[in-house]
Amino acid sequence: MGRSRLPLAIVVSVAAAAAATVLLRPRGGLIEPAPVDAQGYFTAAQVDRAEDFRGLQELLGLVGLGIGIATLAVLVWRPPRRALERLERRPLLGAAAAGAGIALLLVLTGLPVAAWMRARALDVGLATQSWPDWAVDVLKSAGIGAITAAVGGLAAVALIRRFPRNWWAPAAALVVVYGIISVWLYPVVIDPIFNRFEPLPPGSLRQDVLRLAQRAGVDVGEVYRVDASRRTSAANAYVNGLGHSKRVVLYDNLIDGFPRDEVRVVVAHELGHQKHHDLLRGLAWLALVAPAGTFLTQALAERFRDGGWARRPGPSALPAVALAVTLAGLGFGCASNALSRQVESRADSFALDLTRQPADFTAFERRITIRNVSDPDPPGLLHVLFDTHPTTLERLGFAKAWSADH
């Protein structure tokens, strides 16, 4: 069954990802970036420092990904049979335990690379957290991941046992429901485990935010300041949440370390996401590709299981499912990143139109690139596959083109 369905599943997945990305791409409000030269904005030393740091970080990230895939592959083809036999006695509870165990094993095998990447971030001043505090965060993340994987493992085995031929269909519905719940609850349930969030206090910055939101015609929800400086010197901002959990979040080191006019540019960018309902756009993309994604997951898992399930499956099925989810997720992630780059480009354009301050936009992009030790012009293939935002040179090109047109 898996052998016959896998080619079809690949074709359907490619078509679904491409169609969803084209259908949901921004139809207007994009700026064609003007050509810019990195040497006009950054010194040779700044570019070399960023390339040296980011180049190895990206390589280590790929190595970590490969270790995770290799770990799952070993579990598929050289499984711990005695442990699985004990878990098979109570299939659903055993599936929950197996899911949690797989998640924790992936954390453990990936820990050396993660620690190496963090050590390099400490060396360039990007990471600020002590090793003991970092270890606590790793334990928190591992615990949350284990709980999530336990629920996912239980649900996966329950669906495979109930719908052995077409478990991908109900799984697609669960994926969408999980995505909605995650976006809705993550800001109020998970985020506070790692950081302290405080409503932006009354003052000039809050007035700027509310004034920009009024001009943009955006219901901003709440605006929060987060204590990101306890972990990193990098500055950032983001939007998340649905309904009562909708919010704009500003890093404290963005608020404290950047001029007010440049912070306004960042706020305007985030308001652009709210204006164009980009979180809902992401959920719509997930809903469109989920059936193809779970269909591909089932076909891959069956191929890993030599054509199907020899008997009514239990926890022993989970390594194949986990490996299939990982591989399918990589492919769909590339398509999602293509959409994300267009969405972020439109938010940049919105910020320029709302603030009408291309000089502040340019100054911020230059300052944030140096502060975050980012490569202003990363390797093309890695950018296309893994980056969710335009390159720094593209964003500088947006401001240059906007200035020329206005």
User: Tens of pLDDT along 57-106?
Assistant: 999 999 999 999 999 999 999 988 888 889 988 999 999 999 999 999 99
**Single pTM value for the model:** 0.94
**How far, CA to CA in Å, does 390 sit from each of 233, 293, 354, 365, 387?**
21, 26, 19, 11, 8
Query: What does each C-alpha distance from 314 to 77, 157, 164 come to in angstroms?
Result: 16, 6, 12
Average pLDDT over residues 21-33: 95
Asked if the model's pLDDT at residue 353 lies above 90, the reply is yes
On the question of pLDDT at 119 being above 90, the answer is yes
- SS3 state at 81: helix
pLDDT grade for 222, boundaries at 50, 70 and 90? confident
Between the alpha carbon of residue 104 and those of residues 115, 135, 153, the distances in Å are 16, 14, 13
Is the predicted pLDDT of residue 2 greater than 50, yes or no? no
Query: What is the per-residue pLDDT for 310?
Result: 52
Per-residue pLDDT of 386-403, as tens digits, reads 999 999 999 999 999 999
